[in-house]
Chain A
């Protein structure tokens, strides 16, 4: 009479077992000598923020918004063009590839060629976003009703048919998705500051370095307000104004040295043995060395961290979704829950990891906690919304029994689907967090760049991209196997 385990339960247990095994290999020590005091100082900074340095704060916010608008705008335009060609295999492959490389890696690449010119930051956002826009726009266009196109006059031009029968139908969805990506763009824009662009991350790192916690607090609060009020100041009618003004607000940066650009793409990124004319015989040992000493340890740590963060994200999401579910909270509690989840998901992982690293010292712990808080906030929000669609019977149990028997079993399928959607994203971010000094792939990329070995850096970035594509395929297979259908989830940044 023993109870058989369902497929979802088996997969869940498998993920947990793997994560526990990973824990044994990871390094989770807090090395700061007084982490609580640091945390306390940050909390004081948030409670008593210092808004007095207006120039400083104003520039941080203006540049963050400007880079987001230009980057997302260009990405959306390029994405729409690519979406129209999306049935071509080479376009799909190209898009999968450019979106598998994180915007921070793009920023690192362009920093070496264009230097601290605004173009670096703009391209770093626009390129990966174009890849994502192309895929989602193509999906949205595919979902439109094909009937109107058949009813149009036979000799109507292809462009007119597209415009009248497809894009016009899909327009509201295209707009709402683009608006959502703008929020993601603000986060990306803030984060590329950490590698030198004049956005929020740059100013935040500076304030941290000088121990100005009250300024850190002010920057964070302004960032939350900026994202929280997005709907108020991003109006369809104001958009053209923003798009025209934004390119003039990027700052001047440093001029591009074109000889550097051409040297980077034709010389620096060519593998060293080929550059020195050693041919294939020189290339193989070079590749072997790179794989064994950098790529493999980097992949190992990236996978380790990803699996732990994935499970912790899931635990957090399932624990937190009741705070916005009306089956568990009243109106007041629900509002407080919403604020909590908004703050969690508005904070980019990189920014959170940067802060936690300052507080706790270098180890895997800040990275795992940052990833779980951000992603747990996003999934918790979506699962909570899903739970609000459930109508419980009048005599449904209350409290914990309601959670365990009525609500959690019903949302668990959609929850797992969401978690698998975020698997690839968590891995992309894990690789990136290496730039902060945790030995994931990003760490080896960053070190290679520091050593001015751009050929190695490029190859490691390529490997990271392939890893991301691999996990994406695996997650898609798992979803299909478990028959987890969830209305296409496009909220994924």
Chain B
């Protein structure tokens, strides 16, 4: 496993540059928390990372989650591995899932506490349940790197912690945009603070406290 590098990343809306140029390297075994005010460019930075690193196996958990509301929870999670199966098998799965796939997905759903919703269309779930389905999808995907945008924003304390733990277990190498600084420090190995389109803080999380991050806000 080699490190992933982001070099001279720039984002602009029309003429105005909103981000960068930024340089950042993600080493194996490193989980980066992106923190900063809303509108600081965290989501934009994640999108840039995905663009540059997409050749590698990257799992993406966007803020809008990207769930298909008309498909069941199982199918949305199964979508994490569409690329591992031939198209006809995926087609059959829509009508009649393989028992082994259901069992494998169930393990994740159990852990995230939504196994009873297995066959419920995602459109009928609450915000917190939807977020857990998206988390289950990236966990099921088992890529090398996770890019997640506010993965637990709709979950309360203990649930947020258990989903963060699951994501951390599944992805030793990850970049997560976070607004909960406690969780960021607890589950990530490194914190990158964004301010005014630039990197203002870049420290291992063990050297930081919530207080150190306050100036960003």
Residues of A within 8 A of B (CB): 1, 3-4, 6, 8, 391-397, 399-401, 404-406, 409-410, 412-413
Contact = CB atoms under 8 A, between A and B. Distances in A.
B87 A409 contact: no
Contact of B68 (A4, A391, A399, A406): A406
Nearest to B87: A400
| Among A4, A397, A410, residue most surrounded by chain B Cβ atoms (within 10 Å) | A397
A-B complex: 7 closest residue pairs judged by Cβ atoms: A393-B66, A400-B87, A395-B60, A401-B82, A409-B70, A397-B82, A409-B71
B50 A405 contact: no
Contact of B87 (A3, A392, A401, A413): A401
A405 B75 contact: yes
A392 B66 CA distance: 7
Contacts, number: 63
A405 B90 contact: yes
B71 A395 contact: no
A3 B68 CA distance: 17
Interface in B109-136: 118-119, 121
A396 B59 CA distance: 10
B162 to A, nearest CB: 24
Interface of B: 47, 50-51, 54, 58-60, 62, 64-66, 68-72, 74-75, 79, 82-83, 87, 90-91, 94, 96-97, 99, 102, 118-119, 121
A15 to B, nearest CB: 16
| Among B59, B64, B69, B94, residue most surrounded by chain A Cβ atoms (within 10 Å) | B94
Contacts of A391: 64
Given A3-B72, A395-B60, A409-B71, A404 B66 contact: no
A412 B70 contact: yes
A57 to B, nearest CB: 48
Nearest to A405: B79
Nearest to A391: B64
B74 A3 contact: yes
A395 B59 contact: yes
A396 B66 contact: yes
B interface SS class: mixed
B94 A394 contact: no
A319 to B, nearest CB: 14
A2 to B, nearest CB: 9
A320 B92 CA distance: 21
Given A6-B121, A400-B90, A405 B66 contact: no
A412 B123 CA distance: 14
B119 A4 contact: yes
Given A3-B97, A393-B60, A405-B71, 5 more contacts: A1-B102, A394-B50, A400-B87, A401-B87, A409-B75
Contacts of B91: 400, 404
Given A400-B90, A401-B90, A394 B60 contact: yes
18 contacts: A1-B118, A3-B72, A3-B97, A393-B65, A394-B47, A394-B50, A394-B60, A394-B62, A396-B66, A397-B79, A401-B82, A401-B83, A404-B87, A405-B75, A409-B70, A409-B71, A410-B70, A413-B70
B2 to A, nearest CB: 20
Contacts of A394: 47, 50-51, 54, 60, 62
B120 to A, nearest CB: 10
Contacts of A410: 68-70
A14 to B, nearest CB: 15
A409 B68 contact: yes
A410 B66 CA distance: 11
Nearest to A402: B82
Contacts of B79: 397, 405-406
